[in-house]
Structure 1
Amino acid sequence: MASSAQQHVNEESYSSRQQRSELENMADLPSELEKELDRLDEEFWISGDKLKQIVKRFREELDEGLAKHHQNIAMHQTWVHHLPSGNERGTFLTLDLGGTNLRVCEITLHGHEKKGKEKTELDQKQYRLPEELKKGDADGLWNFIAEELEDFVKNKGLDKQYTKEKPMPLGFTFSYPATQARIDHAVLKTWTKGFDISGVEDHDVAQQLREKIEERNLPIELICVINDTVGAMIASAYNDPKTIIGAIFGTGCNAAYMANLSSIGKMKEPDRRTASAQSDKMAINCEYGAFDNAHRVLPWTQYDKQIDAESPRPGEQAFEKLSAGLYLGEIYRLIVLELADQGLVFKDQDISKLRKSYSIDTGFLSQVEDDDSSFFTKSRSLFRDLLNLSPSDVEIELSRRIAELIAFKRRWAKALGEILGWSDEEKREGEGPIKITSAEDGSGIGCAIIAAMELDRLGKA
């Protein structure tokens, strides 16, 4: 008799088990592990009808966010009114506060003088965010950022090239839900990505940063605050004017697009008049990580429920916790730990490192799933170096299959095509009416381009 998972294969083209036929199994799994995989497959599998139901509710929440304030999906106004011309030029400093690192970049835009990757030059330095910072206070956060900003500026000699009278323009990528009354202002509404820093929510992060920059007497002027999704869209459009959406699949998940002002029902009339003087469009930062916070349509596994319950903000960022990079590795860890505690894997090995929350990131899953090294030596090294484990052939094969169940990356294009009714030919990866491309360093380059566009609007370019 076919297992329930195999029946799903027959019903849906993008079932997680179908993809296993694309892999050459290097070890047969014992029946008890096959049974566990069937159980997991059943728990993670989503039917085509369910996907369409989710999409329908997603569209409803997008519309609700445009119409009213304080909705699940916030649909924040960004005050970015145009896609770039592609001819923006200048040298800019950018700051990117992500979920794991702080990145400071010096970026030069060459406009139409050059093409492709040569249109931009980037010099950057990355600073790891201390774990204690994520649960600290506002003063600790902004002091850390300003200190690293000062370090970058002085090491690059930028403090000799710019002055307080002629400062270097700075763009700040702040990828957390924030409302903006103008482009150089952003009030944090709620922390995400595991952050819980006091004294920042409901405050203007731009002003908090400016105060620390002024304390250090740095020759820098903050020009804009953007979300990384907007940056990704702008960076892509700088080279490809056909770009319509910027999306981020990283520590968190989110997207941005250019909306008609007429569709933003919640916009105040004074803001609408101000915006209309610039354009009939505005970039919207969706903040869809909070989709279905009410738990109306998204299917939750036992692992999702555990992650939510143990997170700093239970009940918030529902979709993000089910799909974003910060959490996929944790879902994987919980599954493998459960199997280890049942005595099905890693018997007689020390699994203490496996018990540490968030000890596995999404990169681990990708490397295990895509490992093409002889005898899977890369995967074995990952397990040894990160978890102090020595997996058998069976455990390597099991890990590959679990990674497939969680990550789904081979089925993105197929699932998209299923939802939108594409033909079988169009569903193949890389084809179809929608082309998915990579925006090179959207959070940095996109931020610099937006700063250039804003300086041009102010007549300072």
Structure 2
Amino acid sequence: MTSLRDVLVAALKSLLRGKSFLRALLTFWKTSPVLPVSNDASQPKTPRDVVADFLVDAEHHFLGYTSAGGLEEFSQKLKHQFREGLWSDPACMLPSYNSQLPTGRESGQYLALDVGGSTLRVALVELRRRDVSECGSRIVRMNTFKIDNDVRSLRGAEFFEWMAERIHGTVERSENGHTTEHPLLVGLAWSFPIEPRQTSSRGGKLCPMGKGFLAADDLVGEDLGETIQLACLQKGLHVELSAIVNDSSATLLSAAYTTPSTRFGLILGTGVNIAAHLPVATIGRPKYSDRPSSWHETASHVIVNTELGMFGKDILPLTKWDKLLKAAHPRPDFQPLEHLVSGYYLGEICRLALLDAIATTGIFGGTVPPSLQTPYSLDTETLSLIEA
């Protein structure tokens, strides 16, 4: 009978012949024999026993906290951090300048930009009024561009030049003579923090970005809208940033356009975040900074970018692999919750667990495949394919 080790070595050899990590795993799963598991402590453990023990230990690392009543304790501590953040923390629970949800009667064509942790989307969007159109809005044209590690490594203005080139390629056919006096109006969904002291819906200063991005380097404190407008102008595009919101706020606003009962927007992607439409009094007054008194006189509610990923410091249950990820991270305490649940990090946590399994159980013949040797080389997209 073929041994488990022989099957794993065969999978590794196929990997080295050029097959992908996923395909090698599938090869193993389809051909692996079912080996008996011994319950006799006096008998030497089979390779299957060792793997089973590792999986039991892994399940305890990930789920033991929940079975011991830890979720309720974690919930209480997290709620306490939420309250502190709402009242005083300048880095999270950021009130936008938007005090109202869409009426559904807005109309016209606009350019929409969505800058996420792994994707740039550029779309020409037509709003058709909710009361006269069944769908409310439609995408006239959209292009999607992957943001890989090379793009994340673009420093300062280089990143915005990269953006402007993609914007130009998408809207070139629809420019129709836009000028400085009559620019193309743009709404930007920005998946990163901006300076909370907004004095208009179209303003916002760059803050450190996280997720491995260097775009804010040398530009922290610069106006985000002006930075993008300048980069586009260098490509011959006359645009005006009419609104800058966080991606979670954009999700909330776009859903509220067609579903007026919407009050929360949730992001589960490369990052994790929530936007909420909350009473103005929920937020500490100093966090509104220099907004005119007229804003406070008319606003009863405000859209809040919670920056959810920043919560959880010193209260999150960490596995040994989470601790390894944190130790190697350049900003280990910047986004504690995001490190545990977001798409940018889940693949790396799995890679670290696989390295541990290879060393302790002998899977893959006890040899780390080349495709697993580089940090973040196993992405969450691959895990999604495996899960599917």
Give yes or no for TM over 0.5: yes
Distance in 2 (alpha carbons) for counterparts of 1:167 and 1:278:
29
Distance 1:41 1:89, change over 3 A: same
| Residue 62 in structure 1 maps to residue 82 in structure 2 | yes
Counterpart residue number, 1:174 = 190
The amino acid that maps onto 1:172 is: L
Task: Give the alignment partner of residue 365 of structure 2, picking from 344, 347, 352.
Answer: 347
Task: Kindly report which structure 2 residues correspond to 1:269-418, keeping only aligned pairs within 5 A, or say none.
Answer: 270-271=290-291, 273-293=293-313, 295=314, 297-347=315-365, 351-370=369-388
Distance 1:86 1:268, change over 3 A: closer
Do the aligned partners of 1:177 and 1:287 also contact (CA within 8 Å) in 2?
yes
Counterpart residue number, 2:93 = 75
The CA deviation string for residues 193-238 of structure 1, in whole angstroms up to 9 with x for no partner, is 1223421323222221122223334132110111110111112222
Secondary structure at the aligned position of 2:372 is classed as: coil
Secondary structure at the aligned position of 2:122 is classed as: strand
Task: Give the alignment partner of residue 218 of structure 1, picking from 234, 237, 244.
Answer: 237
Distance in 1 (alpha carbons) for counterparts of 2:221 and 2:182:
31
Report the CA distance between 1:130 and its aligned residue: 5.0
| Residue 84 in structure 1 maps to residue 102 in structure 2 | yes
Unaligned stretches of 5+ residues in structure 1 = 1-24, 371-461
Distance in 1 (alpha carbons) for counterparts of 2:201 and 2:220:
18
Counterpart residue number, 2:277 = 258
Task: Kindly report which structure 2 residues correspond to 1:89-238, keeping only aligned pairs within 5 A, or say none.
Answer: 89-112=107-130, 113-116=132-135, 119-154=137-172, 157-160=173-176, 162-180=178-196, 181=198, 182-197=200-215, 198-238=217-257
Distance 1:147 1:121, change over 3 A: closer
Task: Give the alignment partner of residue 239 of structure 1, picking from 258, 266, 289.
Answer: 258
Report the CA distance between 1:27 and its aligned residue: 5.1
Distance 1:161 1:136, change over 3 A: closer
Distance in 1 (alpha carbons) for counterparts of 2:148 and 2:343:
19
Do the aligned partners of 1:77 and 1:179 also contact (CA within 8 Å) in 2?
no
Do the aligned partners of 1:232 and 1:246 also contact (CA within 8 Å) in 2?
yes
Distance 1:27 1:171, change over 3 A: farther
Secondary structure at the aligned position of 2:230 is classed as: helix
The amino acid that maps onto 2:222 is: H
Do the aligned partners of 1:194 and 1:311 also contact (CA within 8 Å) in 2?
no
Do the aligned partners of 1:291 and 1:319 also contact (CA within 8 Å) in 2?
yes
Distance 1:269 1:362, change over 3 A: closer
Counterpart residue number, 2:29 = none
Unaligned stretches of 5+ residues in structure 2 = 1-31, 38-47
Report the CA distance between 1:176 and its aligned residue: 0.5
Distance in 2 (alpha carbons) for counterparts of 1:123 and 1:237:
22
Task: Give the alignment partner of residue 249 of structure 1, picking from 268, 272, 281.
Answer: 268
Do the aligned partners of 2:194 and 2:206 also contact (CA within 8 Å) in 1?
yes
Distance 1:26 1:259, change over 3 A: farther
Do the aligned partners of 1:196 and 1:312 also contact (CA within 8 Å) in 2?
no
**Higher relative contact order by CA 8 Å / sep ≥ 6: 1 or 2?**
1
Distance in 1 (alpha carbons) for counterparts of 2:213 and 2:321:
20
Report the CA distance between 1:85 and its aligned residue: 1.7
Do the aligned partners of 1:195 and 1:312 also contact (CA within 8 Å) in 2?
no
Secondary structure at the aligned position of 2:371 is classed as: coil
Distance 1:160 1:119, change over 3 A: closer
Distance 1:200 1:26, change over 3 A: farther
Query: TM-score normalized by structure 1?
Result: 0.69
Distance in 2 (alpha carbons) for counterparts of 1:139 and 1:150:
16
Matched pairs, number: 339
The amino acid that maps onto 1:254 is: N
Do the aligned partners of 1:164 and 1:218 also contact (CA within 8 Å) in 2?
no
Query: % of aligned pairs identical?
Result: 26
The CA deviation string for residues 132-171 of structure 1, in whole angstroms up to 9 with x for no partner, is 34233212111111122122221xx122253333222101
The CA deviation string for residues 12-58 of structure 1, in whole angstroms up to 9 with x for no partner, is xxxxxxxxxxxxx9956721111111101111112263112222122
- What is the root-mean-square deviation of aligned Cα atoms in Å? 2.3
Choose 1 or 2 for highest CA Rg. Answer: 2
Report the CA distance between 1:175 and its aligned residue: 0.8
Distance in 2 (alpha carbons) for counterparts of 1:272 and 1:289:
30
The amino acid that maps onto 1:168 is: L
The amino acid that maps onto 1:314 is: P
The CA deviation string for residues 320-361 of structure 1, in whole angstroms up to 9 with x for no partner, is 001111111111111122212335322277711022221222
Distance 1:267 1:47, change over 3 A: same
Query: TM-score normalized by structure 2?
Result: 0.81
The amino acid that maps onto 1:56 is: Q
Report the CA distance between 1:129 and its aligned residue: 2.9
